[in-house]
Amino acid sequence: MLTITQDLVDRIVAHARKDHPDEACGVVAGPAGSDRPERFIPMLNAAMSPTFYEFDSGDLLKLYREMDDRDEEPVVIYHSHTATEAYPSRTDISYANEPGAHYVLVSTADTDGAGDFQFRSFRIVEGEVTEEEVRIVEAY
């Protein structure tokens, strides 16, 4: 289960809406071993595409060095889908290389009639996708 603050959910959704119609992407880092997302890090979608996201390799290297220096890890890796439901694509699955991370997808398309966005979380380990419950809290 992903436990995340309402503030972080709001910031992720706002980033997805801001970058629409391109996919947005980013990381929420947290203390290593804590499984607690804390530090919101919006990233640039280097692909600048409505159907694909790609972290800039230089930005990603800088981020991992920074997280290492701060004894953090990527707790949440997020991106948006602009025209499809919030479910990992084959490309998303092939790029998922952090087995301990929660992969959050936000869809800015109303694909289910439930509103103007979907917010879902998945574990992706060795190509296997498992949706998990999202528990939104005011504070940890």
At 25-68, the pLDDT tens digits run 999 999 999 999 999 999 999 999 999 999 999 999 999 999 99
Calpha distance 101→124 (Å, rounded): 8
The pLDDT score that the predictor gives to residue 111 is 59
Q: What's the sign of the alpha-carbon dihedral 33, 121, 93, 21? A: negative
Least confident interval from 59-63, 86-90, 113-117, 126-130: 113-117
At 91-123, the pLDDT tens digits run 999 999 999 999 999 998 765 555 667 999 999
At 13-36, the pLDDT tens digits run 999 999 999 999 999 999 999 999
Contacts of 27 (CB under 8 A, 6+ apart): 41, 43, 63, 74, 76, 77, 78
67 in Cβ contact with 35 (< 8 Å): no
Q: Which of 20, 4, 12, 82 is nearest to 43 (CA)?
A: 12
61 in Cβ contact with 9 (< 8 Å): no
The pLDDT score that the predictor gives to residue 109 is 78
